Every structure is written in C-alpha cells, then in structure tokens.
Amino acid sequence: MDEGISRLPERQLLEHRDFIGLDYPSLYMCKPKRGVKRDESKETYKLPHRLIEKKRRDRINECIAQLKDLLPEHLKLTTLGHLEKAVVLELTLKHLKALTALTEQQHQKIIALQNG
C-alpha cells in the first residue's frame, strides 16, 4: 500500500483533528480534468478510492474492536469462540439496552424516594 500513510497504534480512535493538515496529493487526482475521457482517468481514480475505502474499513474495524473490549466478560462468554463483527454489534446493543433500562429504573427509584 502507500508508505506515506503512517500506522496508528492499536486501539486508537481516530478523530477529526487527526486528519487536519494531512496532505493526500493522490486524492486530488480523483476528478478527471476537462477534456479527458473517463476511461483514461479510471486508473487514476482507482488507487485513491482503494485507499479511502481501506481507511474507512480500518476505522470501522477499529471501532468494533473497541466495542468488543468494552463489553462485559459475561456477554463475551455467551458465544462460542471468535466474536464476529455482527455479534459484537448485537451484544453491544443488548448491553446498551440493559444499561438504559437499569438507569431508568434507578431514576424512577430516586424520584419515588424524593417524593416520599
């Protein structure tokens, strides 16, 4: 791939400020110039598109890995073997819904205690 792209340490979430000031000269070749046939610019377009897509996939995979790390161990043990991406997302939703319900219950108890 492109040696100009630095590797991020594992489990580091990318933020908008991480992209400020970065120079991607090959990205500016994406749009064909006027008068250039589309077939001639196709190869010019492919490399930057592949890099952009790879970065997008890497960001998605990194976020899923971070979600997996945040899941409680008892949820991770409910599956056999490797946690697929879809399973990680499903377990995260299940856990968030449980936390939301618990928070709502505690909020209702606090209101009941305050009222008498």
Contact between residue 27 and residue 52 where contact means Cβ atoms under 8 Å apart? yes
Full-model pTM: 0.55
Q: One-letter amino acid identity for 68?
A: K
Label residue 83 exposed, middle or buried (CB < 10 Å: 0-12, 13-18, 19+). Answer: buried
At 58-89, the pLDDT tens digits run: 999 999 999 999 999 888 888 777 889 999 99
Question: 3-state SS string over 24-91?
Answer: CHHHHHCCCCCCCCHHHHHHHHHHHHHHHHHHHHHHHHHHHHHHHHHCCHHHHCCCCCCCCHHHHHHH
Greater confidence, 86 or 12?
86
CATH of range 42-115; options 3.40.630.30, 4.10.280.10, 1.10.8.60, 3.40.250.10? 4.10.280.10
